[in-house]
Amino acid sequence: MKKPTYERARALVRRATGPLASHLDPFIVSLIEQQYRASVTYIKARHGLALDRWLAKRRVVLPDLSEAQIERYQNRCRHRRGSIRIATRQIERKAVAQLLEFLRARSVCPAARVVTTAADDLVARFAQHLQDQQGLAYTTIERYCWVARQFLHHRFGRGAVDLRLLRASDAIAFVKRESQRLQAPALKCVTNSLRSLLRYAQFRGEVVPATLAAAVPAVSAWSTTPALPKAISPEHARCAIDSCDLRTHVGLRDRAVLLLLARLGLRAHEIVALQLGDLDWHRGHIRLRGKGGREQLLPLPTEVGAAIAAYLQKGRPASHDRHVFLRSQAPIRGLIVGSDVIGSIVRSALERARVAAPHRGSHQFRHALAVNMLQHGASLEEIGEVLRHRSPQTTSIYARVDISALRSLALPWPGGAR
């Protein structure tokens, strides 16, 4: 059997004579540009050709292509050669879905018909408001919208939504229901999300009374002090960084990411959002897009800059995408916003280094930076400035880490030993 190549894939789709005949070759070219392997591209070409022949046999034209026809195609049986294997069907479904996305982007077939409820439509407008007017982070918007959808379905079901019918008892009943399955920290997220939704509805003049947001119950965590931050030790952090294989593209990328976490205390979403234009090599600065759409300049340490430069020169795939860090597999593009890809990089590094870290997430490097600064005499104000905290209260949790420093501030007990 001949080895699959890009040329064979393009030659294969040129056999198409049905409604997809003029679109399959551009589709294959797009896959090549996204750096799919030749073997994967060839398989997608075969599935595209099979769909073209099926549509031609049934005289289906692209403007009339419907979801029902695609479903019939995917559920078909090949009588002569028996049924299609499950694994083959899964590959076919992905290939057809990708081809349809390509065709819809070119406006040659109808967009997918999405059935939404009134609650879904309201939540979509709420999400746009959170992004445009409040500038919240993607993950925050996602959490708020999930709670908003649950609340609206709890109150109105899948029918019409009339926010003027909401009462304090509705908010209280929803929070009470959620409290039966959630711990205090997660329940606080629910109440914050619900208040945000009700304030949005009040802003639009759709809630009566206007004080409804204040009726959402408060959550008692029964704790006077926040939990101690879980920070990875400097030794373990170095082991994780050194575990990256610099002979590979992925190793070069992951080392740069880990150094950004450890040396600058960047948040995961800040690394994902980093663009090539945010790196000022002449001035040695890096520009961050933080919470609320704020932009800040940070100094670029030599070790971090060298790691990023090595990735850009030797490891970063060729791409029109302007994000600094790209996926290592096709489609080659920026890391997915809202995903846990940075956490996955951290977990892989910890496993390679065989490090028993406090937890498996990326934030432990941020905590480690703060603890290290504190132990070297930095003030809480300086730590808050480096970590870009909005409130001094956020930074105050690190005061509990250096117990020996706190003891020096303790006053003598009245009447005690002198």
Query: Is-catalytic flag, 363?
Result: yes
Integer Rg of the chain from CA: 27
Identity at 113, one-letter amino acid code: R
Choice among 47, 236, 363, 388 that is catalytic: 363
- Other beta carbons within 10 angstroms of residue 100's beta carbon come to 18
Query: Is-catalytic flag, 129?
Result: no
Question: Is residue 25 within 8 Å of residue 57, measured between CB atoms?
Answer: no
Torsion of Cα atoms, 248 then 254 then 259 then 262, to 10°: -140
Residues with Cβ within 8 Å of residue 351, at least 6 apart in sequence: none
**Tokens 């890391």, residue located:** 335
Choice among 8, 104, 154, 291 that is catalytic: 291
CB-side exposure of 376: number of CA atoms within 13 Å? 8
Element (H, E) at 47: helix 38-57
Question: Is residue 395 within 8 Å of residue 383, measured between CB atoms?
Answer: yes
CA–CA separation, 49 vs 14, rounded Å? Answer: 9
Residue 86 buriedness (CB in 10 A; 0-12 / 13-18 / 19+): exposed
**Length in residues, the chain:** 418
Helix (H, G, I), strand (E, B) or coil at 367: helix
CA 309 to chain centre: 25
Starting from the edge strand earliest in sequence, which strands make up the sheet with 285-289, in order? 279-280, 285-289, 295-299
Choice among 398, 400, 407, 418 that is catalytic: 398
| DSSP tag of 208 | S
Assigned token pair, 180: 């039966």
CA angle 73, 79, 80 (to 5 degrees): 125
Element (H, E) at 252: helix 249-264
Axis crossing angle, helix 234-242 with helix 363-375, rounded to the nearest 10: 130
Question: Is residue 244 within 8 Å of residue 251, measured between CB atoms?
Answer: yes
Query: Is-catalytic flag, 366?
Result: yes
Choice among 267, 269, 316, 323 that is catalytic: 267
Assigned token pair, 182: 């959630």
Query: Is-catalytic flag, 398?
Result: yes
| DSSP tag of 297 | E
CA–CA separation, 131 vs 247, rounded Å? Answer: 40
Which sequence positions are flagged as catalytic?
A: 267, 291, 363, 366, 389, 398
